A and B are shown apart, each in its own frame.
Chain A
Amino acid sequence: MQSQDLRKKLMEKTRQKISTEYGSREHHIIKAVNLIEDLDETFNTLVEQIREWYAIHFPELNYFIKDHDQFLELMKLGERKNFSKQKIEKITHDPMLAEKIMQKSQNSMGASISPNDFKIILALGETAIMLKKQRKELEKYISQEISALSPNFAKIAEPLIAAKMLSIAGSYQRLAFFPSSSIQLIGAKTAMFNHLSHGAKTPKHGILFGHSMVRGAKKQDKGKVARSLAGKLSIALKQDFFGKKDISKDLSKQLNERLEQIKKD
């Protein structure tokens, strides 16, 4: 076949292949997971700046309200003079805190603020609130998708952790073929390098550190729990990859039994 004919034929084949291979669910999940981390960072940076800006007018609010979501809601009240104990308490659910903020609003060391200034600060606040909302939607999306892709695994690993593992592994197939020791340590890259290159202690867990079972375990038990969990996860993954059976109840039961044993030792 002539060179250019061959080229046309092969390029069409490559186009098809890209279309088939890149559209699979795992790619969407990986992109979504990468975004969630970026969204968190962006949200935090944005809110820090907004806090500082509004603090020109009402610095005490920035100081006493540590929760970002609450702060953004309170900021919507506008100028200090608009704050009332009732409105504050509706958002903070804390009558003593509401009283304190009420007093501070009347006796603030902040400057007055023009409606124009306030308009733009509030607009940015709305953006931050929207970002948070989007992040929640994204998390829901990821949960749904990973549960559809790998149900046993998503259930036992907890959806967000499962999706992060998928993202680090790079593909569903690679993740499914990981030995449980790799699953235990996914996400512990830096610790692993330190161990290999500088003789530091071996890491005991990577992303699994954030799993509720590992978080809830005593410090000396965390490694054992992570290992048991990783073992079951590797089984769950292979069951999902090669078949359709729901074995999550059995795996959970075995895990909980093992957890009890670890607690006793």
Chain B
Amino acid sequence: MKFSKKFEEIFELNNKLVTINAVPKQKVYGEQLIFFQGKEYREWNAFRSKIAGAMRKGLREFPIKKGARILYLGAAEGTTISHLSDIVGEQGLIVGIDLSPRVMHKLMFLSEQRKNIIPLLEDAAKPEDYVPDLEGMNFDFLYQDISQKNQAEIFCRNADLFLKRDGFAMLAIKAKSISQTLPVNKIFDIEKEKLKGRFKILETLNLAPFDKEHQMISCKKK
């Protein structure tokens, strides 16, 4: 089997991206479990998870390691969060925020299994609502994957309130949620412009074929 390290706690096993399973023998979304050299790895599906898609498209920097604190906007059922949970380990923490109660059911079950995840049923567009809950916590990494019209604005407001100085952030832009008529590249450019004041833009990646009309931007808070 071919094995190499891609990033901290993220590996490539036979050309598949994998993370070490923090809850052995448990699958989260039907992913493949691979046993190798005494450890159990979970395949990180690039078609299901945008961060994995970005890595497959050549993401160069992903400075998240054990003990990191992550604020995840648009947690959904926890597909991507489960891998981040593998990565940050028991000392790390991921606060997962989603608006939909139905989807939150699954996230709650996941959180009961993985003690480094905190699920919140909140609207990421109204961060004032959960500021008191987070008790002044500062996060190392802000990740957002939300289908709303004002994606950049939500990203910036949450970064202002919760991301530490110099913190790493990634934004998955879904063009069709913003406009149905403007050309997709124009939409991406407009959203990116909105970030430039607060962030230093690091990388810009088109997520096709893993996700159509999606762009991932990685950046650092100034």
A15 with B108, Cβ < 8 A, contacts A7-B118, A10-B120 known: yes
The 8 Å CB contact of B118, one of A11, A15, A17, A21, is A11
Contacts of B122-181 to chain A: CB distance below 8 A: 133, 135, 180-181
B18 touches A (CB below 8 Å): no
Q: How many residues of B contact A (CB 8 A)?
A: 17
* Chain A contacts for B201, CB-based, 8 A: none
Per DSSP, chain A at the interface is: helix
Is A1 in the interface zone, CB < 8 Å from B?
yes
B133 touches A10 (CB 8 A): yes
| B79 in the interface (beta carbon within 8 A) | no
A interface footprint on B22-39 (CB within 8 Å = 1, 0 otherwise): 000000000000000000
Residue of B nearest to A7 (CB): B118
Task: Report how far A25 CA is from B101 CA in the complex, Å.
Answer: 14
**Residue B74 is within 8 A (CB to CB) of chain A in the complex:** no
Please tell me if the beta carbons of A14 and B102 are within 8 angstroms of each other in the complex: no
A111 contacts partner chain B, Cβ-Cβ < 8 Å: no
A18 touches B101 (CB 8 A): yes
Interface residues of A in 158-201 (CB under 8 A from B): 193, 196
Picked from A14, A193, A196, the residue with its CB within 8 Å of the CB of B108 is: A14
A11 B101 Cβ-Cβ under 8 A: no
Taking the complex as formed, is B10 at the interface, i.e. its CB lies under 8 A from any CB of chain A?
no
Contact-residue size bin, chain A (C-beta under 8 Å from the other chain)? 10 to 19
Asked if B119 and A14 sit within 8 Å, CB to CB, the answer is: yes
Are B102 and A196 interface neighbours, CB within 8 A? no
In the complex, A22 has a CB within 8 A of chain B? yes
17 contacts across the A-B interface (CB closer than 8 A) = A3-B93, A7-B115, A7-B118, A11-B108, A11-B111, A11-B112, A13-B133, A14-B108, A14-B119, A14-B120, A14-B121, A18-B101, A18-B104, A22-B101, A22-B102, A27-B101, A196-B181
Contacts beyond the supplied A11-B111, A18-B101, A21-B121: 11 A-B pairs with Cβ under 8 Å: A1-B135, A6-B118, A7-B93, A11-B112, A15-B108, A17-B101, A17-B121, A18-B108, A18-B121, A27-B101, A196-B181
Interface residues of B (CB under 8 A from A): 93, 101-102, 104-105, 108, 111-112, 115, 118-121, 133, 135, 180-181
